[in-house]
Amino acid sequence: MYKTDLAVDPTESAAIERRRIMEKQRQSRIFNARQRIIGVDVDALSHQVKERNLLNGLESQRNDAFAQEMVRHDQIGEILDQRQQKDVKQLNQELVKYRGEYQRVEDRKEFDLNDPDYKKKDKPARVSDADQRCSLSGAQLFQGEDLSFEQRKQLQEEQMREWTSQQIGEKQRLLDEQRKADQLYDMKAIELDKRASELAAAEEQTRRNLNVSAKQQNLKMVEEQKASDQLQRTQELDDNYTEMANNIHGNMLTENPSCATSAFGNHRVIPDRWKGMSPAQVEEVRRTQQFQRDEKQQMISEQQRTEADWDQRRVAEARAGLVLENQLNRQKKLAAKNLVEQNKRLAAEQKVKIHQLNKEVYTNQPTDQYFMQFNTSSR
């Protein structure tokens, strides 16, 4: 047998595919009438590329200037943010230090009422410094008495004066610090405003330079456009003069009959250039029409004769068919009669044969014992 599922050679397949791709590329080059006939305006494309590169360069310079300004602003903002974080951190540290030194829990005015060791520090009234114990039956303190009122009041007044002086000093210090911070903030704001003014002036100068460059480029493009329009108008005027000269001296106005002849043959004309038929052509058309009428009349006469012949032939065939049909009917009747006689003879012979078989041949009928000897083993 022939092997039809042989493996394809990869080298051959690659070569076939490469030739197919090359053929498609060649067809695309050949069948592209615009590129093959008109071509490409290399000078115009080069000029457009130069203009595009110039615009891209100006746009790139503008973007670089803005990017540098953005980086400078980001750096200034980062420095100010770091300084603010440093100032906040320093203020928080000073606040914690002040609270640890001057706002302790032990220095509060109501600390003696909330002191957890109040009972441990308390001692009975009217006892000597040598013996601070109080006996069970010794009445050293009565309800309603306040033996340390004067001393406590004096201490509270001194403490109040101390707190007041501390608060005044602290408030003065905070005011001084706030004044210094405001001065620093004002100096920084003045510096930032000055820097912002410088940046705005630089940005304005950059924008002015870009506008000048764009204006010069636009003027140059306007001049080029004017020159192109002038050249186009001149070319259009020349084309109009040429068209009018061609129309005046052309075949259309001179009515040259040869200009209506088609390139596909002398018998065909161009409709938009045809000026009508000549007398000879008209006479030729009439002769041709008369010839066609005669030819058609001859064809009609011939067709009538042919139809008459076919009618006579159909009548003759119909008569012959009737005769043949009668003959076939007689033959069918005779065949049917012979068939009936043959069937009678065969029926008689079959009856005699059946009688012989039943009376002479089939005399030994099989019994049930005969049928039981079958299908008694596996073979």
Output DSSP code: residue 361.
I
- Local confidence band at 294 (pLDDT 50, 70, 90 cut-offs): very high
| Residues in Cβ contact with 220 at an 8 Å cutoff, skipping those fewer than 6 apart | none
> How many angstroms separate the CA atoms of 218 and 212, rounded?
10
- Which residue in the block uniquely carries the two structure tokens 């210090």? 173
- The answer on pLDDT for 376 being more than 50 is yes
> How many angstroms separate the CA atoms of 49 and 47, rounded?
5
Q: What is the pLDDT of residue 139?
A: 58
- The answer on pLDDT for 344 being more than 60 is yes
Least confident of 108-122, 131-145, 216-230: 131-145
Segment 211-235 mean pLDDT = 87
Q: What is the pLDDT of residue 191?
A: 87
Q: What is the pLDDT of residue 218?
A: 86
Q: What is the pLDDT of residue 129?
A: 47
- The answer on pLDDT for 273 being more than 50 is yes
Q: What is the pLDDT of residue 216?
A: 87
Cα 165–chain centre separation: 77
- The answer on pLDDT for 268 being more than 80 is no
Mean pLDDT of the chain: 81
Contact 195, 80 (CB under 8 A): no
Start-end of H helices in 108-250? 111-114, 118-121, 149-249
Model confidence, pTM: 0.24
Q: 3-class DSSP state for residue 69?
A: helix
66 or 143, greater pLDDT: 66
- Both tokens assigned to 374: 């079958």
Over the stretch 24-47, which tens digit does the pLDDT of each residue have? 888 877 777 666 665 566 677 788
Segment 282-299 mean pLDDT = 91
Percent of the chain with pLDDT over 70: 81
